[in-house]
Structure 1
Amino acid sequence: MFNFMSPFSDQAIIFNFTSIQRKTIWQIAAQRFQILKSEMNASATVGVGTCLSTSKPLSIGLTPVPICLLRRRRRCLMIGAETEVELAASEAQPASRRLILLRHAKSSWQHPSLRDHDRPLSKTGRVDAVTVSRKLQRMGWIPQLILCRETLNIMQEEARGFLEAEVHFISSYYSIAAMDGQTAEHLQRTICHYSRDELFTIMCMGHNRGWEEAASMFTGASVELKTCNAALLEAPGKSWEEAFAVAGYGGWKLQGIVTPSSNL
C-alpha cells in the first residue's frame, strides 16, 4: 500500500500500485493537466484571471478560477490515470476459462424398456437439477455454452441465466463416458471445436464413469461426482485451446463441487 500527498489536494490519496504503475499514473495525470492548462490559456483573449483563494495572478483566461476547482480537476486526472493503468494491467493478464463438468441427474426407471440414455429424469432428479442450476446462477457460474444431452430443459426453466447459453447436443457424450481413459480427450476436442474466445464459461453435461475420470484428469485430484454434482474447474488462457495447452492434464484448478445438498 502506498500513500502520497497530492500537490493539488489537502488530503492524502491512497493507491495500491507498484512503483512502476505509480510513476505511470503521475506521468499520465501530468500530461493531462498540461493539456488542460494549454486549452484554458488558448481560450483566453485578453487579461489574466485571479486565483480567488490566493489572490495570485493565474494566466488561464478572463474568468477567475478558484484553486479548489483545479484541485478537483487534478483529482479526476489522477483517477483517470489510475483507471488506465488498471485496464492495461488487466489486459496483460490472460483471461480465466471456467469449465463446469455436470454429471447427469438421477433418471427414472418407470419404463424399463427404454435405453439408459433415453430415460427421463426422476422426481428426485428434477428437484436436484433445479437446485444445482440455481446454485450455479447465484455463484455466477452461468454457462455461455452448454454441451450436453438431457437434463438441460428443466435447468433452463429454473435458472433464467441459462437461457442465454448457446447449446449443442453431443450424441457421443453418452457412449464415450463408458470408455476408460477417453472422456477427457473427447471433452477437450469438442470444447475447442464449439467454443469461441469470447466464451469464458462452458458446461459439459454427461455420465459417469467418464465425467469423474475427466474431472480427476484435468485437475490432478481425485474427484467424486454423484448424480447432479458439478465440478467447477478453472484455468488461465486467452482461448480455450491455450487454456488446455497451458494447464494440460493436472493443471486445472478445482474451485469446488456443487451438489444439491451443499450449503452454497
Structure 2
Amino acid sequence: MKRLTLLRHAKSSWGQSDLADHGRPLNQRGQQDVPFMAPRLASHGVRPSLIITSSAKRAQQTAKLLAREIVYPIEFIHTEKSLYLADPATILEVIETQEDTFSDIVICCHNPGISNLANQLSYQVINHMPTCGMVIIAADTNLWSEIASSSRTLIGFEYPKKPE
C-alpha cells in the first residue's frame, strides 16, 4: 500500500512586481494556513517518508513549514526542479520514479498540474485545488511505478476554508 498526498503550495505574495514568479514568497495567510492544515493531514494518517517540492520559493516554504509542523527533518526535503509549473504527466513521472522503500510521499507543487493530477488519480472532480489544498490518495500497490494503474481510494480532500 502506498499513500500519496498532493499538496498545492500555500498562498503567495504578489506584492513585489519586480520579483519573478519563481521567487515569489508566501504571504501572511499562506504562512498561517500551513500550520492550520498540518493536523488535518495527520488526521488522515499521513506520515511522510518523503516530501518532494517544486523549486519555486513558495512551494519550498510550504514544504518546510509543513515539515516543521509534522516533525519531518527539513534536510530530507527533496527539491525537484521539474515540478515547477509541471503538467500532470511530469508530476506523475516524478512520483513513479521514487524508491519503493518510501510508503508515504507528499508532493508540493502548483496548479493547474496538481489539480489535474488529483482528478486523474482520485476519480473525483476537483475543479480547482485551493492554495494549501491537499488530496490524499491510497494506492493498492507496493510499487510507485504502478500508482497510475493500481486501484486507488481518495482518503481525503482538505483545504483551509473547508468546514471542519
Q: If you compute each CA radius of gyration, which structure gives the higher value, 1 or 2? A: 1
Letter in structure 2 aligned against 1:114: L
Moved over 4 A (4+): none
Matched AA of 2:116: E
Aligned to 1:204: 107
Q: How many pairs does the alignment contain?
A: 157
Mapped pair 1:159 → 2:64: no
SS of the residue corresponding to residue 175 of structure 1 reads coil
Q: Which amino acid aligns with 2:156?
A: G
The CA deviation at 1:236 is 0.4
The yes-or-no answer on 1:109 pairing with 2:14 is: yes
The alignment partner of 1:106 has SS state of coil
User: Where does structure 2 lack aligned partners over 5 or more consecutive residues?
Assistant: 55-59
Partner in structure 1 of residue 37 of structure 2: 132
Structure 1: distance between partners of 2:137 and 2:44: 14
CA shift in 2, pair 1:207/1:164, >3 Å? closer
Corresponding position: 1:168 with 2:81: no
Aligned-residue Cα RMSD (Å) equals 2.0
**Change in CA separation of 1:164 and 1:174 when aligned onto 2, cut-off 3 Å:** closer
- Would the aligned equivalents of 2:12 and 2:25 in 1 still touch at CA under 8 Å? yes
Select the structure that is richer in helix.
1
* TM-aligned CA distance change 1:137 to 1:246, over 3 Å: closer
Q: 1:165 Cα shift?
A: 8.3
Unaligned stretches of 5+ residues in structure 1? 1-95, 177-182
* Deviation of the 1:244 alpha carbon: 2.8
Contact 1:229 1:259 in 2 (8 A): yes
Instruction: Tell whether the 8 Å contact from 2:67 to 2:74 is kept in structure 1 after alignment.
Output: no
Partner of 1:32: none
Written as runs of structure 1 = structure 2, the 5 A alignment for 1:38-77 is: none
Q: Is the 8 A contact 1:144 1:166 kept in 2?
A: no
